[in-house]
Chain A
Amino acid sequence: KAGVTQTPRYLIKTRGQQVTLSCSPISGHRSVSWYQQTPGQGLQFLFEYFSETQRNKGNFPGRFSGRQFSNSRSEMNVSTLELGDSALYLCATKRGGTDTQYFGPGTRLTVL
């Protein structure tokens, strides 16, 4: 069974730009969560989408947004990029409820 796919794998942007990251879940998984991972803060939860609705949200500014499509694929968008947004962005998917999450390889975003 194919794993979680994230595109692109690497991205370099400059301050003030915006970026869109994509996550394709494992077949049958309807929940997609997004995380930001940095050396200083570790893995921090951004938001979760389930059946095209945002179900949970972390403590990030409104510059971070996401959406989910009817095929469960999800995108996250970061507008007005800041240097501190440089991080590994991970998505994790699960079927729903208490099922365990499976992570993608991540998108490494560098903001210059």
Chain B
Amino acid sequence: QKEVEQDPGPLSVPEGAIVSLNCTYSNSAFQYFMWYRQYSRKGPELLMYTYSSGNKEDGRFTAQVDKSSKYISLFIRDSQPSDSATYLCAISQGGSEKLVFGKGMKLTVNP
């Protein structure tokens, strides 16, 4: 079983739609959860960072962590064409442990 599973998509939605991106993980020792956004031909950029279970909101983005189900989500409200990118979840046990990434979901928001 892979440490992190993420549906690679692709996902295509109309502008203004609510987008839901998800990852599951297998190791309950993971404590830190991140979402990165990667535009074409660029390096990933950190979008959201959470530590505990629950929700964290930042503008149109909401990150949700459910440790009991080992499930993390990223919601994008009022999606815009500029949100078109690949979204990667990343998790870590913390400390000096490495980040483990999902394969990434390619999102296209159509005007």
A interface vs B, CB < 8 Å?
4, 6, 33, 35, 41-43, 45, 48, 50, 55-56, 58, 90, 92, 96-98, 100-106
Contact = CB atoms under 8 A, between A and B. Distances in A.
Interface of B: 32, 34, 36, 42-46, 49, 88, 92, 94-104
A48 B100 CA distance: 13
A56 B44 contact: no
A100 B98 contact: no
Contacts of B49: 100
User: Do most interface residues of chain A lie in helix, strand or loop, or is the interface mixed?
Assistant: strand
Given A90-B44, A106-B43, A56 B97 contact: yes
A98 B43 contact: no
A108 to B, nearest CB: 8
Contacts of A48: 96, 98
A76 to B, nearest CB: 15
Given A105-B42, A106-B43, A43 B88 contact: yes
Contacts of A35: 101
Contact of B99 (A41, A101, A104): A101
A45 B88 contact: no
B63 to A, nearest CB: 13
27 contacts: A6-B43, A41-B103, A42-B104, A43-B44, A43-B101, A43-B104, A45-B98, A45-B99, A45-B100, A50-B96, A56-B96, A56-B98, A90-B43, A90-B44, A92-B44, A92-B99, A96-B96, A98-B92, A100-B34, A102-B46, A103-B36, A103-B43, A103-B45, A105-B42, A105-B43, A106-B42, A106-B43
